[in-house]
């Protein structure tokens, strides 16, 4: 075997070992975070297909809204949310999260993520996301999100 062929086989095998090892190094928690991070990356890129790829079929998105002391829950379909994201300029919607809690039991996961939302690089609001994820066909998908939104008190929930 020539030195060139031997060298190419050696490089290929090293890359294969590193690639396989990297896959084993990812925990279930990392996989849950990757799904959520993928949603926010898609939002930042105005990528409606990427947004939809983050969600399970029949996903539910809800926001707790308070107006004049009255609290209600506003519900939105994932398809409507993805369509809205597509209408924004790239990098207009920048939601910055911190993972406070991630818990997993079998094919169910939760994540609690305080956040700050920036629109066109200006602070817009903050709050907390509560995610419920389900593992479908070996991949984590967001089944449910409920969030809070406010413009004050952000320092208390997001350092």
Local structure of 149: helix, strand or coil: coil
**pLDDT value at position 6?**
42
Q: Mind listing the pLDDT tens digit for each residue in 79-116?
A: 999 999 999 999 999 999 999 999 999 999 999 999 99
The token duo for 150 is: 């406010």
**pLDDT value at position 25?**
61
Please state, in angstroms and rounded to a whole number, the distance separating the CA atoms of residues 119 and 141.
Answer: 26
Query: What pTM does this model have?
Result: 0.81
Transcribe 14-83 into DSSP letters: HHHHHHHHHHHH--HHHHHHHHHHHHHHHHHTT-HHHHHHHEEEEEEEEEEEEETTEEEEEEEEHHHHHH
**pLDDT value at position 26?**
78
Q: Mind listing the pLDDT tens digit for each residue in 50-67?
A: 999 999 999 999 999 988
**Mean pLDDT of all residues in 139-151:** 96
> Any idea which residue has 């990528």 for tokens?
47
pLDDT grade for 156, boundaries at 50, 70 and 90: confident
Is residue 7 over pLDDT 50?
no
Please state, in angstroms and rounded to a whole number, the distance separating the CA atoms of residues 110 and 61.
Answer: 14
Select from 120, 26, 156, 63 the least CA-distant residue to 37. Answer: 26
Q: Mind listing the pLDDT tens digit for each residue in 112-131?
A: 999 999 999 999 999 999 99
Fold classification of 27-157 is Nuclear Transport Factor 2; Chain: A, (3.10.450)
């Amino acid at each position: 075997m020539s030195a060139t062929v031997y060298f190419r086989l050696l490089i290929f095998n090293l890359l294969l070992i590193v690639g396989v090892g990297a896959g084993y190094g990812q925990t279930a928690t990392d996989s849950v975070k990757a799904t959520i991070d993928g949603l926010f990356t898609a939002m930042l890129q105005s990528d409606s297909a990427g947004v939809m790829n983050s969600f399970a079929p029949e996903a539910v998105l809800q926001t707790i809204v308070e107006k004049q002391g009255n609290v209600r829950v506003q519900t939105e379909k994932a398809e409507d949310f993805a369509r809205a994201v597509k209408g924004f300029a790239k990098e207009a919607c920048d939601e910055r999260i911190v993972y406070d809690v991630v818990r997993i039991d079998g094919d169910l996961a939760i994540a609690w993520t305080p956040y700050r939302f920036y629109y066109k690089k200006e602070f817009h609001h903050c709050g907390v996301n509560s995610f419920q994820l389900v593992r479908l066909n070996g991949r984590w998908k967001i089944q449910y999100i409920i969030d809070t939104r406010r413009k004050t008190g952000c320092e208390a929930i997001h350092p």
